[in-house]
Structure 1
Amino acid sequence: MLLQMHDLAFAYPGCPLWAHWSHAWGPGVALVRGGDGAGKTTLLRLLAGQLAPTQGRLLLQGVDAAAQPEAYRRQVFWIDPRLPGLPAHDGQTPAQWLQSLPAHCPQWSDAALQAHVQGWSLAQHLDKPFHALSSGTQRKIFMATALASGAPLTLIDEPIAALDKPSIQYLQQALAQCAGAPARLVLVAHYESLPGVPWDAVADVPQ
């Protein structure tokens, strides 16, 4: 198994989400499914190493998130789409931001990035300031980057939010290409399965 959760629990003050949740994922493309407020985004933050569980362990390719946090996080790529202005804090354009990423992503693929830029028709937006882009365009840039990162654990949250139909169709195609990947897990959090994606695994957030 590439990613393992053992006896995971997490609670916000006065608001427990889950307890004693254990699950394991192999490589490929997987779905974490749950409704609004179920804790899907919180789970991704935990898996990204941005939050610490109340109890339990996270192992990514044998690396313990609590014992080796930096080594763990180096294997993960995730951008919280609820904070889409982050790269804009320094007035960057997507093109400028993208130039900095290969140095932090050992498995980075320029070919994959170019394919996703073309598939989502993003070329015309790369030299515009981030703050001038719609939330849907920003989300597509972040997803293109995530898929091009090659990270062993790639996390994508609510992928179709603010996307039009052609963009959703390309997303389904891009995710389908990740199915059966031998050494990488692309984990998507969404409230339902996306048609046309041959999920290698589906897990429901505990109620």
Structure 2
Amino acid sequence: MCDEEGECKTDFLRLLAAELPYAAGNLTLLGVAQHVDVSAYRQQVFWIEPSATEYDEFTVEGFFSWQASRYAGFDQTVLLQLIEGLALEPHLFKQIQMLSSGTRRKVWIAAAFASGAALTLLDDPLAALDKSSALFVLSRMAALAQDGQRAMVVGDYQAPANVPLAARIDLGG
């Protein structure tokens, strides 16, 4: 999903995450209608706004443990691969508030990919990442797209390079 900076992609992602009310229609994920059981719907969706501060007191390791308790399909083996691929090992025992914006984003992305959530929502996933981390994230996105078992909606100003897309939505006027 593409739009220019400052447009409405984040609000659209928040709507899909059941954080904003919708005016018409229904959101249903794996047979769970958001308007019927918002809690069960949210358990199938991974979403963290990049600027989130509610996890600042967690250590990175504690944050991953908490995410593992939230998602039944959370995969510890995948998480270990992501920790290595995103060079997060030196940060595991740091509080999230101590991390740079790029490292925070890598923590959110690692949790997202490991979550096993039916729907993963990512807002500007490559922003503030170093080149090797950005390439690693793109390779993981491509692998998830090829697997076809989970849905991912990526909000950015352009479509991710070399990632097969099911659809592209342009929100800009």
Tell me the secondary structure at the aligned position of residue 154 of structure 1.
Answer: strand
Residues of 1 paired with 2:47 and 2:129: CA distance?
A: 19
Report Cα offsets for 1:130-157 as digits up to 9, x if no partner: 1111010000000010000000011110
Residues of 1 paired with 2:132 and 2:119: CA distance?
A: 26
Q: Is 1:157 matched with 2:130?
A: no
| 1:17-166 equivalence runs, <5 A | 32-83=1-52, 85-88=53-56, 91-166=57-132
Match of 1:174 among 134, 140, 144: 140
- Which ranges of 4 or more aligned residues in structure 1 deviate by more than 6 Å? none
Residues of 1 paired with 2:33 and 2:71: CA distance?
A: 20
* Alpha-carbon RMSD: 1.4
Equivalent residues of 1:113, 1:144 under 8 A apart: yes
- Give the number of the structure whose alpha-carbon radius of gyration is greater: 1
Q: Aligned letter for 2:111?
A: T
Stretches of structure 1 that go unaligned for 5 or more consecutive residues are 1-31
Report Cα offsets for 1:82-105 as digits up to 9, x if no partner: 22x3211xx321111211222210
Equivalent residues of 1:153, 1:187 under 8 A apart: yes
Bigger share in helix: 2
Report Cα offsets for 1:6-60 as digits up to 9, x if no partner: xxxxxxxxxxxxxxxxxxxxxxxxxx11112331000110100111112222121
Equivalent residues of 1:180, 1:200 under 8 A apart: no
Q: Aligned letter for 1:87?
A: Y
Stretches of structure 2 that go unaligned for 5 or more consecutive residues are none
Residues of 1 paired with 2:55 and 2:6: CA distance?
A: 27
Q: How many residues align?
A: 173
Aligned to 1:195: 161
Equivalent residues of 2:85, 2:136 under 8 A apart: yes
Tell me the secondary structure at the aligned position of residue 26 of structure 2.
Answer: strand
TM-score (norm 1): 0.79
Residue 200 of structure 1: CA displacement?
2.7
Equivalent residues of 2:4, 2:172 under 8 A apart: no
TM-score (norm 2): 0.93
Bigger share in strand: 1
